[in-house]
Amino acid sequence: MSYGQYLRELLLPLGVYDLDAPFNGGELDAAGQALDQMESQLEEVDREANLSTAQDWGLEQVARLFTRRPVADSPQELAQALAALLRIGGDSFTLSAINDTIAGCGVPARVEETGVERVRVTFPGIAGIPPSFEERKKIIEEILPAHVEIEYWFWYLTWAELEEKFSCWQDIEDRDLTWEGLETCVD
């Protein structure tokens, strides 16, 4: 029901107004249209002000709070990444919290402790250096405490795996692989 109809129903029992007259009816219709527009704007503001329901400019406003934009391909992924960043607090530096935050930011990486104030970052399921590595590296380094030494590990085909995967060099040549293609041919 529009606000124009609502106003008419509200005033009808009073019997004071001729609601079908052009002047009274036109005034109610104009006021109703203004209220309808205001309601749609308020619904948009309500949706965009909540990170769990935002789809457009609300996400962009929250993303502007951070120095780097999280890696995300859709509004839902961006909302999850921003929520992960907003969860960072004074007690967010446990290994599981760090991994949760990195994953929430859309970075497919895993952090493991390798010693006192040392961590190793791997990229499970991604052979070689991941695409847009520099951007991902900056995000990871902003999440990890500054005093922690970070070692990045990349996954490449080993000679043992090469010998298991290919029976001879002709198999490699038949696939027309470059050296980079060969060393990342881990599937």
Asked which of 12-16, 33-37, 91-95, 160-164 is least confident by mean pLDDT, the reply is 91-95
Same domain, 71 and 42: no
Q: How many independent structural domains does the chain possess?
A: 3
For residue range 21-32, what is the model confidence (pLDDT) as tens digits? Answer: 887 788 888 888
Instruction: Work out the pLDDT band at 150, boundaries 50, 70, 90.
Output: very high
Is the pTM higher than 0.75?
no
Instruction: Work out the pLDDT band at 126, boundaries 50, 70, 90.
Output: confident
For residue range 56-72, what is the model confidence (pLDDT) as tens digits? Answer: 899 989 888 887 777 77
Q: Specify the pLDDT at position 149.
A: 95
Same domain, 21 and 85: no
Q: Which residue has the higher pLDDT, 34 or 73?
A: 34
Average pLDDT of the segment spanning 125-146: 88
Kindly report the number of other CB atoms within 10 A of residue 54's CB atom: 19
Residue 175 has pLDDT above 80, yes or no: yes
Report the alpha-carbon distance of residue 160 to residue 47 in Å, rounded: 54
Q: Specify the pLDDT at position 120.
A: 96
Same domain, 105 and 168: no
Q: Report the mean per-residue pLDDT for the chain.
A: 86
Same domain, 141 and 84: yes
Residue 136 has pLDDT above 80, yes or no: yes
Residue 173 has pLDDT above 70, yes or no: yes
What residue numbers bound the domain in which 177 lies? Answer: 157-187
Q: Specify the pLDDT at position 92.
A: 66
Report the alpha-carbon distance of residue 179 to residue 139 in Å, rounded: 29
Same domain, 98 and 177: no
Same domain, 44 and 89: no
Same domain, 147 and 178: no
Q: Specify the pLDDT at position 91.
A: 66
Contact 171, 163 (CB under 8 A): no
Same domain, 73 and 140: yes
Same domain, 143 and 164: no
Same domain, 74 and 110: yes
Same domain, 100 and 119: yes
Contact partners, residue 183, CB within 8 Å, separation at least 6:
127, 128, 156, 157
Same domain, 145 and 171: no
Contact 35, 8 (CB under 8 A): no
